Amino acid sequence: MKLDEVKRVSVLGAGIMGHGIAQSFLMGGYPVTLYDINEQILKTARDHIEENLGLFARFGLIEERAIGPCLERLFTTCSLAECVKGGDFITEAAPELLELKQRLFAEVESLCKKDAIIASNTSSLTLADIGIKVQNRERLVTTHWFNPPHIVPTVEVVRAPWTSEETFETTYDLLVRIKKVPVKIEKEVPGFLINRIQMAMVREILDLYEQGIASAEDIDKAVKGSIGFRLASIGPLLTIDLGGLKLWLKVCQNLFPLISNSKEPPGALTRLAEKGHDGIKSGKGFYDYSNDFSKESLDEAIKKRDREFLNRLKTLYWENK
């Protein structure tokens, strides 16, 4: 499938990721058919998309008058066949369960166009496993979006052993066309690029927390105001170049032997999770939310996050395009 042959997009699963992925394609001008297993989920997804389009307009990222046409291009259905039959680019954002995704991929192949591209948004599985029941595997690719997917620019485009060059390039170009920032991952390794980097950082952060080196508040404040501040504008390898390779080499030699190389999940995280704590969703995580713990406060925390992210999206990405 070539880029100009992609006319319709199908999104399977309308949860946290699916409705945001659908919104990105709608804003990029594509008609989108969104599938889920019940009508209520689809209604909630449409409401979220409408609300989030309003937020994009308020931040000047799309025009107010673009909202209506975007919503008119959105079709929802509880029929998988109806969702995928006209789809040229089909992307799955269903639960992270290997058997479910294997079954879904095989079923999609039996219902969709012969040359449609079928993408997975898996975070921790591989297409080498998900795609085993698919006959024509050249059309399979992973597109790994980041939450919230309608806002965070990067999407990892991952080449599985059998992904064809055309599938890989069309997928990459399609994401560019809808104003995302795709990154080519040439080999399918678990965690791809970003989750591996993020997990290396989280291992060290939780080890420092466990040792009582700093409080949760101070760890968050320090990371946001230093490496977080820097990395929002320049990448880690350019940071090394700007700082000087000799200095970075010295620091690696001094600190690598001292930082965590644990293979076990971090103690503090394990203990909290085993006690049933689930962060803001349950009222306790590394912070205590028991004074203001409700669905409304969770929704407000997500809205506050999205407003901050939209400001950054506007200044760092959209105004420079």
Ligand X SMILES: NC(=O)c1ccc[n+]([C@@H]2O[C@H](COP(=O)([O-])OP(=O)(O)OC[C@H]3O[C@@H](n4cnc5c(N)ncnc54)[C@H](O)[C@@H]3O)[C@@H](O)[C@H]2O)c1
Instruction: Map residues 38-57 to x or -, x wherever contact with ligand X holds by CB under 6 A.
Output: ---x----------------
Among the listed residues 185, 170, 176, 195, the one whose alpha carbon sits nearest the alpha carbon of residue 24: 176
Which residues 197-256 are close enough to bind ligand X by CB under 6 A?
none
Residue with smaller CB distance to ligand X, 6 or 93 = 93
Minimum distance, C-beta of residue 103 to ligand X, in the bound complex (Å) = 7
Residue closest to ligand X (Cβ): 15
User: Of 34 and 206, which CB lies nearer to ligand X in the complex structure?
Assistant: 34
Closest to ligand X by CB, 77 vs 239, is 77
In the complex, what is the shortest distance from the CB of residue 13 to ligand X, in angstroms, rounded to a whole number? 3
- For the bound state, the minimum distance from the C-beta of residue 229 to ligand X, rounded and expressed in Å, comes to 23
Beta carbon of residue 248, minimum distance to ligand X (angstroms, whole number): 30
CB of residue 178 to ligand X, shortest distance in Å: 17
In the range 2-41, which residues lie near ligand X by CB under 6 A?
12-18, 36-37, 41
Window 114-153: contact mask with ligand X (x via CB under 6 A): -------xxx---------------------x-x------
Site string for ligand X, 69-108 (x = CB under 6 A): ------------------------xxxx---x---x----
266 phi, psi to nearest 5 deg: -60, 140
CB of 62 to ligand X, least distance (A): 23
Residue 31 CB contacts under 8 Å (≥ 6 apart), including other chains: 7, 8, 9, 73, 74, 75
Q: Rounded to whole angstroms, how far apart are CA atoms 70 and 124?
A: 31
Decide whether 37 or 199 has the Cβ nearer to ligand X.
Answer: 37
Of 147 and 233, nearer to ligand X (C-beta) is: 147
DSSP 277-301: -BBBTTTBSSSB-TTS-SHHHHHHH
Task: Name which of 78 and 255 has its Cβ closer to ligand X.
Answer: 78
Residue with smaller CB distance to ligand X, 95 or 257? 95
The answer to whether the CB of 175 falls within 8 A of the CB of 147 is: no
DSSP label at 317? T
Compute CA 209 distance to the chain's CA centroid, rounded to the nearest angstrom: 27
Instruction: Kindly write down the DSSP assignment for every residue of 176-204, as one continuous string.
Output: HHTT-EEEEE-S--TTTTHHHHHHHHHHH
Q: Is 257 in the site for ligand X (CB under 6 A)?
A: no
- Residue 142 or 163 having the CB closest to ligand X: 142
Query: Within 13 A of 101's CA, how many CA atoms are on the CB side?
Result: 25
* Start-to-end CA span in the chain (Å): 27
Whether residue 160 contacts residue 128, with contact meaning beta carbons closer than 8 Å, is answered with yes
Residue 310 neighbours by CB distance under 10 Å: 21
User: Within 13 Å, how many C-alpha atoms sit on residue 99's CB side?
Assistant: 0
CB 108 within 8 Å of CB 84: yes
Minimum distance from CB of 190 to ligand X (Å)? 12
Binding residues for ligand X, rule: CB under 6 A, are 12-18, 36-37, 41, 93-96, 100, 104, 121-123, 145, 147
